[in-house]
């Protein structure tokens, strides 16, 4: 019998109760129950005398004796009333249910500890359905001060598994298994980090003696949880670097040099140069590159991607870029073709719309190696697409691709070295800035590069928040901008009217815009997700060419539209959008030399989170600051789809609130692996044992590529 035994081994847990605990909370073993941590505590450190009680509705704890019991008839049934007395006065304890068995169990003139919420009537207090136990029973228990409150469900409560019952089960668990709790961190780490032991931490997380011990217990358990996650991510990175071979791009040849010296249309920013240096270092080692490139909209990730591909070509390899949508793939293609116009490097585009004849030409040119750069969508993943020697694969906005899709791309490398197929180097690009805390937790096994400065000459987008009542002023501003030759986006959250939500929908909005901006003076495009791709492309093309001045759209224009002449983004019902979406939409303007604007329109009914989101957008254009606020508002589980990745299924730590502990845990994990990469040192025996169990259970294989 040990902590891995089923919960039925705990006194008072029947088979039926065990099945319910598993169905509702996923608790199967004694260890699972031990790691069900309280989410709050009832502080019973304070005792009051009856004369000290104040007319408020707080929960209080008093000690005294029952001096009288009576049954009082009422309209329906009766209630039981006991007079409870201490040296300073008396109050009434009242029960409306279970009067008979409660009456039989009460012991007059015996000292009791009573706890509950007070009701006040005519300046005298009563306590309905109090928690009671004799002073003798109270003193014999583990919980003498702060009582834990555990996560529960309606079903558990209905089946009689109350907080009191949960505390009882936990108490029996400690009485039976306390000596079986093993230390999971090495002694030197406990000393370095000034952590209390595992047994003491678990006892004080469930039954804290005081606030200070509770704080120490929480710190210890949070550190341990984050430490083992970091250890796994970092070890995975070490293994990948040691075992997975990568192609060596050893030389900077004529293709790269000619483009850099003669055809680069602008000077690189220091951030772009730094990132290129990091990539060159990676691909020159013979280890496999797996790098995440973060940069705000317009920070110049594309030119870094192109230069990296030219490096591959110089070393005799092919390169590809995979984008999640046809619009984005086409935009990458047009951008690359324009940049490479004065070179003899051919670029091809492969999407679902590519005609059969052109497909065959692309397949053939890829296989014989004459085609060096392929840009496309999921179509690249088809089995028919075979590269002669794919050296680097660049994935744009990778969180939109599934794990299976990414692994297919991984297998496109054709060379075999030492009997193992060599995958292409992977560069993952994202314009969704990932907060540092989340990057360390979710992408801790990748190398991360950040382009954190915009190219010179880019003006910050001016952002304002306006209420619906200011709409006429906004329309006047739009007319002034259009008169200067600029173009405007107007984005709506819904396509059709929703009865449940009082938001402007697209069709209604289109009609009101058409009335305010009549043809032939103004031309309007409309784009939404329910249109056929060909119709959507036609409308976007009209806007891109400048044939229309206003684009009325849903969020389909969030990625992929690059119209430098568009200088105003109006977001209707802006309170309906998340922060990252608002930031992405704003990034559609500000691509030309002119001053650009973002106008956030909302109703007066704003939640506090809604106000924070809109104020954050007005205050900053820094994607990383915005991402930090977003993380605080939404929590880590909802950002970047991490709930699906299983990484942040945390029992006690919170990567946002506990980011200082996360930093400590990461540094400690780096230090341990630097000293002992295989965890073979006898000092790390407990660590290796726990780590092995952790790996079996956690499944945080985040599979970026």
Tens digit of each residue's pLDDT (9 = 90 or more) over 383-404: 899 999 999 999 987 655 555 6
Q: Give the 3-state secondary structure of residue 530.
A: coil
pLDDT at 106: 92
**Range 254-283+299-430 classified under CATH 3.10.129.10:** no
> Nearest 10 degrees: CA dihedral of 22, 25, 29, 35?
180
C-alpha–C-alpha distance, residues 562 and 341, integer Å: 19
203 backbone dihedrals φ, ψ, rounded to 5°: -65, -40
Residues spanned by CATH 3.40.50.300 within the chain?
Answer: 254-283+299-430, 462-620
Q: Which residue matches tokens 């998340």?
A: 578
pLDDT at 599: 97
DSSP 8-state symbol, 264: -
C-alpha–C-alpha distance, residues 95 and 664, integer Å: 52
Q: Is the distance from CB of 680 to CB of 178 less than 8 angstroms?
A: no
The two structure tokens encoding residue 389: 């020697």
Fold of 45-142: OB fold (Dihydrolipoamide Acetyltransferase, E2P) (2.40.50)
pLDDT at 40: 85
C-alpha–C-alpha distance, residues 557 and 569, integer Å: 11
The two structure tokens encoding residue 478: 């739009």
DSSP 8-state symbol, 260: I
Peptide bond into 228 cis (omega under 30): no
pLDDT at 455: 76
Q: Is the distance from CB of 599 to CB of 490 less than 8 angstroms?
A: no
For the chain, what is the radius of gyration of the CA atoms?
32
Q: What percent of the chain has pLDDT over 70?
A: 89
Q: Give the 3-state secondary structure of residue 283.
A: helix
Neighbours of 407 (CB within 10 A): 13
Q: Is the distance from CB of 362 to CB of 389 less than 8 angstroms?
A: no
Residues spanned by CATH 2.40.50.140 within the chain?
Answer: 45-142
pLDDT at 535: 87
DSSP string, 83-149: EEEETTEEEEEEESS-HHHHHHH--TTS-EEEEEE-EEETTEEEEES-EEEEHHHHHHSS-SSEEEE
DSSP string, 627-694: HHHHHHHH-GGGGGGHHHHTTT--SS--TTTTHHHHHHHHHHHHHHHHH-TT--SGGGHHHHHHHHHH
Handedness of CA 633, 635, 636, 638 (dihedral sign): negative
C-alpha–C-alpha distance, residues 298 and 454, integer Å: 7
Q: Which of 343, 37, 407 is nearest to 207 (CA)?
A: 37
Residues in a beta bridge with 363: none
pLDDT at 372: 96
Contacts for 317 with CB less than 8 Å, ≥ 6 apart: 247, 249, 389, 390, 391, 392, 424
Q: Which of 135, 74, 127, 71 is nearest to 104 (CA)?
A: 71
pLDDT at 698: 58
C-alpha–C-alpha distance, residues 434 and 432, integer Å: 6
Length of the chain, in residues: 705
Q: Which of 161, 133, 166, 172 is nearest to 147 (CA)?
A: 166
pLDDT at 158: 87
Q: Give the 3-state secondary structure of residue 705.
A: coil
Q: Which long-range contacts (CB under 8 A, 24 or more apart) does 674-678 make?
A: 677/235, 677/238
Where the chain has pLDDT below 70, the residues are: 56-58, 142-145, 398-407, 413-414, 416-417, 419, 436-445, 494-504, 556-561, 635-649, 697-705
C-alpha–C-alpha distance, residues 363 and 412, integer Å: 13
Tens digit of each residue's pLDDT (9 = 90 or more) over 416-447: 667 677 889 999 888 777 776 666 666 666 78
C-alpha–C-alpha distance, residues 399 and 377, integer Å: 14
Neighbours of 44 (CB within 10 A): 18
Q: Which CATH superfamily is domain 462-620 in?
A: P-loop containing nucleotide triphosphate hydrolases (3.40.50.300)
């Amino acid at each position: 019998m040990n902590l891995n035994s089923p919960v039925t081994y705990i006194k008072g847990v029947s088979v039926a109760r065990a099945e319910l605990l598993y169905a509702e909370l996923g608790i199967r073993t004694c260890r699972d129950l031990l790691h069900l941590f309280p989410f709050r505590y009832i502080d019973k450190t304070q005792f009051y005398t009856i004369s000290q009680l104040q007319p408020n509705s707080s929960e209080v704890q008093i000690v005294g004796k029952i001096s009288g019991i009576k049954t009082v008839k009422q309209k329906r049934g009766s209630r039981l009333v006991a007079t409870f007395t201490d040296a300073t006065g008396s109050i009434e304890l009242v029960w409306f249910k279970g009067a008979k068995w409660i009456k039989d169990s009460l012991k007059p003139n015996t000292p009791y500890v009573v706890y509950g919420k007070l009701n006040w009537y005519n300046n005298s207090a009563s306590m309905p359905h109090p928690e009671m136990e004799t002073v003798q029973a109270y003193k014999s228990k583990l919980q003498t001060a702060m009582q834990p409150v555990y996560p529960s469900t309606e079903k558990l409560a209905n089946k009689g598994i109350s907080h009191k019952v949960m505390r009882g089960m936990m108490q029996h668990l400690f009485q039976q298994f306390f000596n079986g709790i093993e230390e999971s961190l090495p002694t030197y780490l406990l000393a370095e980090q000034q952590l209390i032991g595992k047994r003491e931490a678990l006892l004080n997380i469930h039954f804290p003696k005081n606030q200070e011990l509770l704080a120490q217990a929480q710190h210890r358990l949070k550190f341990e949880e984050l430490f083992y996650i970091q250890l796994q991510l970092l070890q995975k990175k070490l293994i990948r670097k040691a075992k997975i071979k990568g192609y060596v791009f050893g030389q900077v040849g004529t293709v790269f040099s000619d483009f850099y010296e003669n055809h680069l249309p602008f000077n690189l920013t220091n951030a772009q140069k730094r990132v290129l240096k990091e990539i060159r270092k990676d691909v020159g080692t013979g280890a496999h590159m797996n790098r995440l490139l973060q940069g705000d909209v317009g920070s110049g990730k594309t030119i870094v991607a192109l230069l990296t591909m030219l490096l591959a070509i110089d070393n005799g390899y092919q390169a590809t870029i995979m984008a999640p949508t046809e619009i984005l793939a086409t935009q990458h293609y047009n951008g690359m073709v324009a940049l490479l116009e004065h070179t003899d490097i051919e670029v091809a585009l492969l999407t679902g719309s590519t005609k059969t004849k052109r497909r065959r030409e692309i397949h053939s040119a890829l296989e014989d190696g004459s085609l060096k750069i392929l840009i496309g969508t999921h179509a690249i993943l088809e089995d028919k697409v075979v590269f002669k020697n794919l050296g680097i694969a660049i994935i744009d906005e990778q969180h939109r691709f599934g794990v299976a899709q990414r692994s297919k791309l991984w297998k496109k490398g054709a060379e075999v070295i030492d009997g193992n197929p060599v995958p292409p180097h992977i560069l993952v690009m994202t314009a969704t800035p990932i907060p540092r805390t989340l990057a360390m937790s979710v992408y801790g096994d990748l190398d991360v590069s950040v382009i954190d400065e915009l190219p010179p000459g880019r003006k910050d987008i001016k952002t304002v928040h306006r209420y619906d009542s200011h709409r006429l002023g906004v329309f006047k501003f739009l007319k002034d901008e259009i008169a200067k030759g600029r173009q405007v986006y107007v984005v709506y959250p819904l396509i059709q009217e929703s009865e449940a939500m009082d938001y402007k929908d697209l069709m209604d909005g289109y009609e009101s815009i058409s009335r305010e901006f009549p043809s032939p003076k103004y031309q309007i495009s409309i784009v939404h997700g329910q249109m056929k791709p060909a119709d959507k492309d036609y409308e976007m093309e009209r806007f891109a060419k400048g044939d229309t001045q206003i684009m009325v759209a849903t969020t389909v224009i969030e990625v992929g539209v690059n119209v430098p002449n568009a200088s105003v983004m109006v977001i209707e019902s802006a309170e309906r959008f998340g922060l990252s979406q608002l930031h992405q939409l704003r990034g559609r303007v500000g691509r030309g030399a002119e001053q650009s604007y973002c106008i956030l329109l909302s109703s007066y009914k704003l939640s506090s989170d809604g106000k924070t989101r809109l104020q954050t957008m007005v205050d900053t254009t820094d994607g990383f600051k915005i991402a930090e606020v977003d993380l605080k508002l939404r929590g880590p589980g909802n950002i970047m789809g991490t709930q699906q990745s299983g990484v942040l299924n945390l029992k006690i730590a919170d990567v946002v609130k506990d980011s200082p502990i996360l930093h400590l845990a990461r540094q400690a994990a780096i230090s341990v692996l630097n000293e002992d990469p295989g965890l073979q040192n006898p000092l790390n025996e407990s660590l290796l044992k726990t780590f092995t169990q952790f790996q079996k259970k956690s499944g945080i294989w985040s599979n970026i590529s």
